[in-house]
Structure 1
Amino acid sequence: MIETIPSQQQKDTQQPETSGNIQPDSVQEAAHSELQHNAKEVETYSIENAPYCILPEREKVTLMILASFAAIISPMSSSIYFPAINNIAKDLNVSITLINLTVTTYLILQGIAPSLIANFSDIHGRRPAYLICFTIYIAANIGLALQSSYAALMVLRCLQSSGSSGTIALGSATVSDLSTRAERGKYIGYATMGVTLGPALGPVIGGLLDHFLGWRWIFWFLVILSSAFGATVAIIYPETCRAVVGNGSVPAPKWNRSVYQVVKSNLCPQKMFTGPPNYDTLQNRNKRRANPLASAMIATEKEAFFILIYGSLLYAGFMSVLSTLTSELQLRFDFNSIQIGLCYLPLGFGSLTSRWTVGFLLDKNFKREARRQGLPIVKNRQQEIEKFNIEIARLTITIPLVYIGALCLIAYGWVMEYKTSLAGPMVTLFFMGHCITGAFSSLNTLIVDTHRQSPATAVAANNLWRCLVGAGAIAIAAPLIDRIGIGWTATFIAFLWIFFSPIMWAVYKWGYAWREKSRLEEQERTSTTQGNREL
């Protein structure tokens, strides 16, 4: 039998079948309600599956490298100064102790200043924060190159530190803006490349400039270098702050756009954005006033407090070695400024290689722990850690590095004490730099992981603590070496690292529980506040 297919007109005239007490209007309402429900499900699905960052891989890596080399000015400004300390003291007719005091004040401001700029950048964007930092820094270096008094040197070094130090927090925040937790270990190698090269290249460049051109050319060199980086940031660096552009799909305000973006928007406005903006990827969308105490308040959290305390101890010991290396090499090997600068290279290269080895281990261990704890990893999707113990994933790598680094520090102290061949301290410095800066990177990654809404503020908190403690360590390192010798001084520092290492074990075991308790308390306070507002 051949069925007759009704025509479209017949279909239109047919009435929908009804059963029971359901009326045609009720059917239409039910269908409409189902369509709305399906639309909401599709919308929720699209929000949850939005890429964490819409930028291609090559562009993300390029931006991280640019942010990394913009941050080189902070550690380089500190280390480039060391080989010229003796000549600066002679020209300004002051003691070396007073010149060393400018190193201490530099570190103090290096700890305090990022607290002011980091919270500003988490709210208003990375680009304006970068431009403020470079403007202050360039002006300070011009003044340092022209000044001729100790008072001016002290004040301008503080200003120089204030301008440069914020770039470190901004570099780490850029990594957080562009990468998920699962791949952050890989990218942290790019982001901290400049921070690592600064201590390595600074003394070499400073020694050469001081020897051939005079110490004033150290600051003229920094003016030229920072002007080049500042111009590059102004021209091509786009806004990455997730509070401003989300995952990169939200148009940035005019004052957050680069010169290239402004020109492109005027010439080809239709090519500015390839897709619709996803406003649901914005973080901290409710603009609030910048709080300079925000980074200090992070230390009120139990887990963050322990991480910051131990990180500052590691940094203090590392800076004690870095600041006294010049005088120890001059005393024991009678080196000039060029030779002293070259001896900083093993320490710097050890730090540089750690960025790749430790970064690889951090990513690999994160994925291993994710499989063990049942956390799915999707490429370019952020992994929420409310139900994930990220403390184990990070500290499994950190803790062994600390113990190995402590042994390398002891070896360095005693080969210097007994004046062995130069190869002894150089080799031990390489491995100490590799392990301790690797531990720095891991702790820095953990503090960002647990504060993803304000990564620059979290890094600034880390910088605040370690620089203040490091400044105190530099002040007592040289007198301690004079009193008990470099061998026992290095042993004492390594003993402190090992003695306080249970702090890291406590975070390893109970950090997740502390973080979860804080999260639930914050949710309860937020719901209570909203309920009071509704009433």
Structure 2
Amino acid sequence: MSATSTQSEDGHRPSEEKHQDGHPEAKPDAKPPSEQPAPQHDRPIYSVFTTWQKRAIVLSAAAGAFFSPLTAQIYFPALGMLAKDLNVSLTQINLTVTTYMIFQGITPMFIGSFADATGRRPAYLICFVIYIGANIGCALAPNYAALLVLRMLQSAGSSTTVALCQAVVSDMITSAERGQYVGYAAVPTILAPALGPVIGGLISQFLGWRWIFWFLTILAGAFTVLYALFMPETCRNVVGDGSLRPHKAYRTLWQLGKDALEDRRRARNNENNPDLSLQPTTSRASTTKQALQVRKLNPLKSLAILFDKEMFLLLIYSSIVFAGFYAVATAMPAQLSRNYGFDDLHVGLMFLPLGGGSIFAAAVLGRLINWNYKRHCRRLGVPFERSKQHDLAGFPIERARLEIGLPLLALAGAVLMGWGWAMQYRTHLAVPCVLLFLLGIGIIGFSNTSNVLLVDVNPGHAGSATAANNLTRCLVGAAATAAINPMISGMGDGWAFLSSGPSVSRVRPCCSSS
């Protein structure tokens, strides 16, 4: 196979054998760009997508990731109605939440590896076909057993979208600007926990619980159509820096339509002028006929990342911090109902300050993460170019990221302790609103920082790395969800969250030492 038709293992596009300055081009078995020791000025442009194209693609991927937390949160207001209609206990209905979280943690390990090996588009389309089918089944579920099984299938379809979103970011975005784009990717997944309970409460109250699943079916169907039409393949194993023309199985319906029109126009021109058919074929003609290749899958890659000591520490630390989010979200409905007399709709509205703080963290702190990376580049004399992936060997990438994350971690721990006592003494409503806003900044800000670092240190395996992160978050979050209400019953609001806050803050010295 010629050099122009092959591609490197990490998805870089090979061109000539050497650059003009004599440096050799990357070989097919080259390491990911962050691991290559070549001089910085020799590095190719990381992605051919423009800034606005990157933003549109990342926001589209984030819209897909919106379904995983939305599906989990929109379901909660209808639990009582479900138990009554299906003639089962609340404990049995809660089991549908538990099994959902189990599959939410496990499934991305397999689909994430599949996406790293075969591309993002096939993974997205498979997930949404499963998800739409499961929603239709849930809407028509005749009994509890059917709902339990279909909720597992629903989780399997939606849960991987978060890992796929982070993988899309890593495909196009260098370490120099990754903080900002991870912030973009986090916005829909932050909004879902805030909007989901409100939407679910309104639908279940006025239309019935089955319409929750019909609503998700319609929303997911519209997204799938738009995705199939316009969302390009970004996986570097398939399209390199975005300039390689993939097999037609990876091309969007819009691209296939343009190709068909171009082929028809070329055929008419050849009929009118036979001499045109004797001209050399273009690069497009040669690339559209390339074989469809399916790389070897490694579904256990996420476990391999999890069992790496440093990765395990980072994942567990991040999960413990995010468990604070789950603890507040789980306890808040009962606390607000008991202390302030809120109904389901007003409880749902109280999630909005949490979403507002999270959006602030995504918008502002992402730029701060990039600024700190640039500061370290200047300090070390490393050339700073947003469009080229820097060699991170010897670069203090952990320090560059955690210098932003650790103050946010301290903020999250302090707010968790304050939240408990605010509920204990039934303070003015403005106090919990402010605390929720600050909690969104602290927890989501640290979470985004750890996500950026996770992708930085796992080049070429962003899907698997994010899947491992998702697994630990779900397991630790499930533990926090199960423990917080018994802790409140036994200790009271103040002492329960006073013990949770230091648990989060203890992660800070561990992160500093690692």
Tell me, yes or no, whether TM beats 0.5: yes
Q: Contact 1:53–1:247 at 8 Å: present in 2 too?
A: yes
> Structure 1: which 5+ residue stretches go unaligned?
1-35, 278-284, 508-535
Specify which of 430, 440, 447 is matched with residue 440 of structure 1.
447
Q: Contact 2:361–2:444 at 8 Å: present in 1 too?
A: yes
Specify which of 64, 68, 73 is matched with residue 67 of structure 2.
73
Counterparts of 2:346 and 2:136, CA distance in 1: 27
Cα deviation code 1:261-305 (max 9, x no counterpart): 11111212699xxx969xxxxxxx996421221101102222211
Q: Contact 1:68–1:190 at 8 Å: present in 2 too?
A: yes
SS in 1 for 2:22: helix
Specify which of 216, 219, 243 is matched with residue 210 of structure 2.
216
What is the correspondence of 1:400-479 to structure 2 with a 5 Å cutoff? 400-479=407-486
Q: Contact 1:206–1:341 at 8 Å: present in 2 too?
A: no
Aligned residue in 2 for 1:298: 305
Backbone CA RMSD of aligned residues? 2.5
| Residues 324 and 148 of structure 1: CA distance in aligned 2, closer, same or farther (over 3 Å) | farther
| Residues 430 and 370 of structure 1: CA distance in aligned 2, closer, same or farther (over 3 Å) | same
Q: Shift in Å at residue 145 of structure 1?
A: 1.3
Q: Contact 1:309–1:465 at 8 Å: present in 2 too?
A: yes
| Length-normalised TM-score, structure 1 | 0.82
Aligned residue in 1 for 2:167: 173
Aligned residue in 2 for 1:235: 229
Shifted more, 259-268 versus 149-158: the winner is: 149-158
Higher helix share: 1
Counterparts of 2:283 and 2:53, CA distance in 1: 20
SS in 1 for 2:100: helix
Name which one, 1 or 2, has greater alpha-carbon Rg: 1
Aligned residue in 1 for 2:141: 147
Counterparts of 1:84 and 1:419, CA distance in 2: 27
Aligned residue in 2 for 1:96: 90
SS in 2 for 1:181: coil
Counterparts of 2:466 and 2:458, CA distance in 1: 9
Counterpart residue type for residue 47 of structure 2: C
Percent identical among aligned pairs is 45
Structure having greater relative contact order (Cα 8 Å, sep ≥ 6): 2
Q: Shift in Å at residue 322 of structure 1?
A: 1.1
| Residues 267 and 426 of structure 1: CA distance in aligned 2, closer, same or farther (over 3 Å) | same
What is the correspondence of 1:76-475 to structure 2 with a 5 Å cutoff? 76-268=70-262, 288-475=295-482
Q: Contact 1:299–1:305 at 8 Å: present in 2 too?
A: yes
Q: Contact 2:18–2:24 at 8 Å: present in 1 too?
A: no
Counterparts of 1:292 and 1:37, CA distance in 2: 36
Q: Shift in Å at residue 46 of structure 1?
A: 12
Aligned residue in 2 for 1:527: none
Q: Shift in Å at residue 177 of structure 1?
A: 0.7
Counterparts of 1:38 and 1:464, CA distance in 2: 43
Counterparts of 1:156 and 1:139, CA distance in 2: 9
| Residues 482 and 348 of structure 1: CA distance in aligned 2, closer, same or farther (over 3 Å) | same
What is the correspondence of 1:501-512 to structure 2 with a 5 Å cutoff? 501-507=508-514
Counterparts of 1:304 and 1:393, CA distance in 2: 17
Counterparts of 1:243 and 1:416, CA distance in 2: 51
Q: Contact 1:235–1:258 at 8 Å: present in 2 too?
A: yes
> Structure 2: which 5+ residue stretches go unaligned?
1-16, 26-38, 266-281, 285-291
| Residues 251 and 286 of structure 1: CA distance in aligned 2, closer, same or farther (over 3 Å) | closer
| Residues 153 and 183 of structure 1: CA distance in aligned 2, closer, same or farther (over 3 Å) | same
| Residues 180 and 403 of structure 1: CA distance in aligned 2, closer, same or farther (over 3 Å) | same
| Residues 330 and 53 of structure 1: CA distance in aligned 2, closer, same or farther (over 3 Å) | same
Q: Contact 1:211–1:338 at 8 Å: present in 2 too?
A: no
Counterparts of 1:225 and 1:38, CA distance in 2: 48
Task: Give yes or no for the alignment of 1:493 onto 2:497.
Answer: no
Shifted more, 477-486 versus 444-453: the winner is: 477-486
Q: Shift in Å at residue 232 of structure 1?
A: 1.0
Q: Contact 2:324–2:416 at 8 Å: present in 1 too?
A: no
| Length-normalised TM-score, structure 2 | 0.86
Q: Shift in Å at residue 136 of structure 1?
A: 0.8
